[in-house]
Chain A
Amino acid sequence: METARYILSRFGQSLFALLCIITLTFFLARLAPGGPFLDEKAVPEHLIEQMNKNYGFDKDLHIQYFLYLGRLIQGDLGPSLGNKGFSVNEVIAEGFPVSFMLGIVGLIIALLIGVPVGVFAAAKRNTAIDYTLMAIAMLGICLPTFVIAPLLGELLALNLGLFDVALWENSSAWFLGALTLGLYYSAYIARLTRGSMLDVLHQDFIRTAKAKGVAPMKVLFKHAFRGGITPVVAYLGPALAGLIGGSFVVETVFGLPGLGQHFIKAATNRDYWLINGTVTVFAVLILVMNFFVDVVQAWLDPRTRSRN
């Protein structure tokens, strides 16, 4: 009963946050100078007026806002202004799977690298190996994806010929994109794993286990690992949302048709409906992930519920 009430209240909070995000985005996009119909070769004033009329931008802003909300409830995100003939729904439906795949594969790579490295570093804490691994991880965190991505492209695609360096169709470039994201996040995960493993390794039950003569590998994997990995699991939700939303750079560097590109280009094109649409999708994604994590945590740890 208590759990149900908690879930309900978290759901309500999420919905409220979503409405705030949608509203803010709508008005902020409109406040930005410039407009969707300006072009390098000037468009005469009378035509810009007509275009505003064709798209309903001549009405009062608050009326447009309510019309937009009305359409949104029906699941209609409106037409794209920068990709004529396409609706925002279509643009997102095409782009989201690409970003989602990059995110999932990136996350798997991040876990495959990050967790073993973290565990190993924790096992060898305060040795040269630990310091080296963590220094590399720190470097990985500091190197932005726009440095890693071209480097990987140059090395793995152009020098070694293992992958294609760009394009989507019949191309392996997407894997380089996922790898870039994976390497970047593996650095975080390695540090996170190491930290939480160390916490666990210092606890009494580990000492007891060791005192009883349990094999060190068994202590590490059977006794410590489960506890040590929990914070990493909690991090997965937000990490996936971040991976999917943060793939703009790799999408540009490898020419991939994901949602990240639309997220940025919509803003520079003043493609109002696409700005609102992509922001809404990312907001929903992050809210759902956080909601899910909160609920799972509440399930596991009753203290979270009572605190709320």
Chain B
Amino acid sequence: MIRPFPTAVFLRRISSSIRTGLAAIVACSLLAGCRTETKVDVATREKILLLGNGGEPKALDPHIVSSVGDANILRAMFEGLVTYHPSNDMLHEPGVAERWESNEDFSEWRFFLRKNAKWSNGDPVTAHDFVYAYNRILHPDMAAPYASMLYFLKNGEAYNKREIEDFSKVGVKAVNDFELVCTLESPAPYFPDVVKHTTWLPVHRPTIESFGKMTDPYTEWQKPGNSVSNGAFYLTDWRINAYVKVRPNPYYWDKESVKPKGINFYPLDNVFTEEKAFRNDLIHYTYTMPQNLIERYKEMENSPLRIETYAGVYFYRCNVTRPPMDNLDFRKALAYSINQETIVKYVTMGGQQPAYGFTPPSEAGYDPPNVVKFDPDKAKEHLKKAGYSNGAEVPEFTIIINTSEAHKSIAVAIQDMWKKTLGIEKVKIENQEWKVFQQTVHDVNYEVSRAGWIGDYVDPNTFLSMWVSNDSNNNTGWSNADYDRLMKESGRISDPKERYKKMKEAESVLLEELPVLPIYWYTRVYLLHPDVKNWNPLLLDNHPYKHIDLIAD
């Protein structure tokens, strides 16, 4: 017979090692308990702002980036002619330009640059730096993805499309070191808003050219140690997927009023990780917020949750060249049977506003035509007019979305609304991986596709110009001569009120034709630590970091 093992001995040996291990863990936890000061506390004391920033930046070159997160970092590092006001999107803060003026019809703008603006290596910032930057971003060899933001300049588009070779014909001139003149393609009373955008930031010529040609798109100039910038901060560290750090630019003209002693941006692209990092006191601010935790944060006392209006619209594109979406009455039937209020209340739950028009209402004084509203009777009527006696006759069509739970739940809700109100049975929802989705939309190879648009500046133009025939962001196959004419006319009007009236007319055409089904106007939903002061709600969410202070709450 085999003797059983003496369990007692074995257990004793094992348990002694477990006990040692446990002792170590307890010691650890005691030590951790002693460390009452959290990472955020230390950072607040040292005035280092710790920000969650969505994903890893694609680049830190103002002429290459296009995402909101990348622009957040660049806004700390660079300063344009005009910059963002810390609490009001409608106001302008002087940047490199001390003051500016325009001619009577807002088609020529003169910027007077301050003489004490400096790059982070001590070089003066001059009007020539801006001319150089605008040449670089518009140069066709550079292939800057967002070059179209500079099509405001006279001949900017022609130069970018190689229709003209001579940059001196483009509407930007340095009169002398400290005076810059921009001549525009058409009047733009809101031009100071436009030049706040990252695409209009200056770059340091000697730095760029010491790492390659002006138009080399991926040189090492943007790395820490190489990068030279003119904003309140300059780049000191960058580790992919770990952090980007900026520290105060010692040569910045307004360095006395720069409150933070540095900013660390963390590319936490997993929303759950970011929320946990916040709860663990590792960051001051989250870029966004998991949808399913919003309710729980709302119920908290002194909740760090912030919900603010954001200049953006969530909508569906309709491919008007493909049946059944080519039928205007059918599109109307679809639009009027979407209950936008239900979606924001029970699906998105982040305080979003139901979008009855396309352009979000803003402090700019523009009031969009609120015409696309849930109306089941009208919807049914239009379905009949479209030639379907009931929803079952409607041929199968597909909503495409890029893979995401949030987009999926909205699509499912809308699919259900169309079924309930119109009796349409055959609506499919198709997930596509991000890049595949972009290609499908780009090729207009869909029936209905999910979309979102965030304003680049505070003016309805940033929402409406994309629906002009053949605009590269149109992607619906929709084209309307009246719309094109109204938009063109609005571009020639210098009186803001008259201009808005014209744009509202144009938007009415858009909402009558419905190549888009508006769903909701965005909000920014995020978490903010109480130590962060002077962080105000902003429509475009472009916070000028120099004003933000850190004081232990």
Which A residues have a C-beta under 8 Å from some C-beta of B? 32-48, 50-51, 54, 79, 82-86, 91, 94-95, 116, 120, 123-124, 150, 153-154, 157-158, 160-162, 164-171, 210, 216-217, 220, 251-258, 261-262, 265, 268-270
> Which residues of A have CB within 8 Å of B269?
252
Report if A38-B435 is in contact (Cβ < 8 Å); known contacts: A85-B61, A168-B243. Answer: yes
CA of A257 to CA of B243, assembled, Å:
9
Contact of B161 with A46 in the complex, beta carbons under 8 Å: yes
Asked whether A217 lies within 8 Å of B435 as measured between CB atoms, the reply is no
Residues of A contacting B56 in the complex (Cβ-Cβ under 8 angstroms): 82-83, 265
| Sampled A-B contacts (8; CB under 8 Å) | A33-B439, A35-B439, A84-B64, A153-B276, A168-B242, A252-B269, A255-B241, A255-B270
Contact A162 B25 (CB under 8 A): yes
Whether the pair A157, B223 counts as a contact (CB closer than 8 A) is: no
Tell me, in angstroms, the Cα distance from A157 to B32 when the chains sit together: 11
Cβ-neighbour of B433 out of A79, A252, A255, A268 (below 8 A)? A268
CB closest chain-A residue, reference B13:
A217
Q: Which 9 A-B pairs have the closest CB atoms?
A: A34-B435, A50-B143, A84-B59, A257-B241, A257-B242, A38-B438, A42-B472, A166-B277, A165-B280
Q: How far is the CB of B235 from chain A (nearest CB, A)?
A: 11
- The answer to whether B29 touches A160 (Cβ under 8 A) is yes
Are B241's CB and A51's CB within 8 A?
Answer: no
The answer to whether A217 and B148 have CB atoms under 8 Å apart is no
Residue of A nearest to B264 (CB): A169
Complex contacts, B45 vs chain A, CB 8 Å = none
Residue of A nearest to B474 (CB): A42
Nearest B residue (CB) for A258: B241
Contacting pair B241 A164 (CB below 8 A) = no
> Is B266 within 8 A of A255, CB to CB?
yes
Instruction: Report B-chain residues with C-beta under 8 Å of the C-beta of A255.
Output: 241, 266, 268, 270, 273, 277
Whether B270 pairs with A158 at a CB distance below 8 angstroms is: no
How would residues 348 to 388 of chain B score, 1 for a CB under 8 Å from any chain A CB and 0 otherwise?
00000000000000000000000000000000000000000
CB distance from B218 to the nearest CB of A (A): 5
Spot the interface stretch: B4-12, B112-120, B170-178, B485-493: B4-12
B147 touches A47 (CB 8 A): yes
Say how far B366's CB is from chain A's closest CB, in angstroms: 21
The smallest beta-carbon distance between B467 and chain A, in angstroms, is: 13
Q: Taking the complex as formed, is B323 at the interface, i.e. its CB lies under 8 A from any CB of chain A?
A: no
Q: How many A-B residue pairs have CB under 8 A?
A: 185
Task: Answer whether residue B219 sits at the interface, using C-beta atoms and an 8 A cutoff.
Answer: yes
Give a binary string over B425-453; 1 marks a CB under 8 Å from any A CB, 0 the rest: 00000000111111100100000000010
Asked if residues A150 and B280 are in contact (CB atoms below 8 Å), the reply is no
Residues in B lying within 8 Å of A, measured CB to CB? 2-7, 9-10, 14, 25, 28-29, 32-33, 39, 56, 58-61, 64, 66, 140-148, 160-162, 217-223, 239-243, 266, 268-270, 272-274, 276-277, 279-280, 282, 433-439, 442, 452, 472-473, 475
Q: Which residues of A contact B144 (CB under 8 A)?
A: 47
Q: Contacts A51-B143, A85-B220, A95-B240 known; A171 to B435 CB distance under 8 Å?
A: no
Query: Given contacts A33-B436, A120-B10, A255-B266, is CB(A85)–CB(B221) below 8 Å?
Result: yes
Min CB distance A209 to B, Å, is 11
Assess the B243–A169 pair: CB atoms within 8 A.
yes
Given A84-B222, A217-B9, list of 11 further CB < 8 A pairs? A42-B442, A47-B143, A50-B142, A85-B221, A94-B239, A123-B10, A161-B32, A164-B282, A253-B272, A262-B241, A268-B433
Contact pick for A120, options B14, B33, B146, CB 8 Å: B14
Contact A164 B280 (CB under 8 A): yes
Q: How far is the CB of A296 from chain B (nearest CB, A)?
A: 30
Given the interface contacts A42-B442, A43-B472, A160-B29, does A261 sit within 8 Å of B277 by beta carbon? Answer: no
Nearest Cβ in chain B — how far from A153, in angstroms? 6
> B14 to A116, Cβ gap below 8 A?
yes
- Specify which chain A residues have a CB less than 8 angstroms from the CB of B442 in the assembled complex: 38, 42
Question: Complex: how many Å from CA A43 to CA B141?
Answer: 14
A84 to B473, CA, bound (A): 24
Q: Are A165 and B277 in contact (CB under 8 A)?
A: yes
Inter-subunit contact B472/A165 (CB<8 Å): no
Q: Hey, which chain B residues are within 8 Å of A166, CB to CB?
A: 268, 273-274, 276-277, 280, 282
Set of chain B residues within 8 Å of A35, measured between Cβ atoms: 435, 439
Chain B residues lying within 8 Å of A45, measured Cβ to Cβ, are: 472
B439 and A161 within 8 A (CB): no
Q: Do residues A161 and B58 form an inter-chain contact, with CB atoms below 8 A?
A: no
Chain B residue, CB-CB nearest to A150: B272
Closest to A161 in B: B32
CB-nearest residue of chain A relative to B2?
Answer: A210
CB-based contact B435/A216 at 8 Å? no
- A85 and B276 in contact, given A41-B146, A210-B2 (Cβ under 8 angstroms): no
Query: Nearest Cβ in chain A — how far from B319, in angstroms?
Result: 15
Inter-subunit contact A158/B3 (CB<8 Å): no
Please determine whether A162 and B239 come into contact, CB atoms closer than 8 angstroms: no
Chain A residues with Cβ below 8 Å from B61 are 84-85
**Given A42-B475, A45-B472, A168-B242, does the pair A252, B6 have CB atoms closer than 8 Å?**
no
User: Judging by beta carbons under 8 Å apart, are B282 and A171 in contact?
Assistant: yes
Knowing A85-B220, A166-B273, A270-B435 are in contact, say whether A158-B280 is a contact too (CB < 8 A). Answer: yes
Interchain CB contact under 8 A, A39 and B66: yes
Query: Given the complex of chains A and B, what is the CA–CA distance between A5 and B280 in angstroms?
Result: 57
> Are A161 and B29 touching (Cβ within 8 A)?
yes
Q: Which residues of A contact B143 (CB under 8 A)?
A: 47-48, 50-51, 54
- Across the interface, name the chain A residue whose C-beta is closest to B279: A158
Known contacts A50-B140, A120-B10; is-contact A84 B217 (Cβ 8 Å):
yes
Chain A, Cβ-Cβ closest to B471: A42
CA A164 to CA B282, docked complex, whole Å: 8
- Which chain A positions have C-beta within 8 A of B66? 39-41
B245 → chain A closest CB, angstroms? 9
Q: Given the interface contacts A83-B58, A85-B61, does A252 sit within 8 Å of B270 by beta carbon?
A: yes
Docked-complex contact B58 and A84, CB < 8 angstroms: yes
B473–A42 CB distance below 8 A: yes
Q: A39-B66, A95-B240, A158-B280 are in contact. Are A44 and B148 (CB under 8 A)?
A: yes
Nearest CB of B to A298, in Å? 36
Q: How far is the CA of A45 from the CA of B223 in the complex (A)?
A: 29
| Cβ-closest chain A residue relative to B223 | A85
Instruction: Give every chain A residue within 8 A of B452 (Cβ-Cβ).
Output: 40
A169–B236 CA distance with the chains assembled, in angstroms: 15
Query: Is B240 within 8 A of A86, CB to CB?
Result: yes
Chain A residue nearest to B4 in the complex (CB):
A216
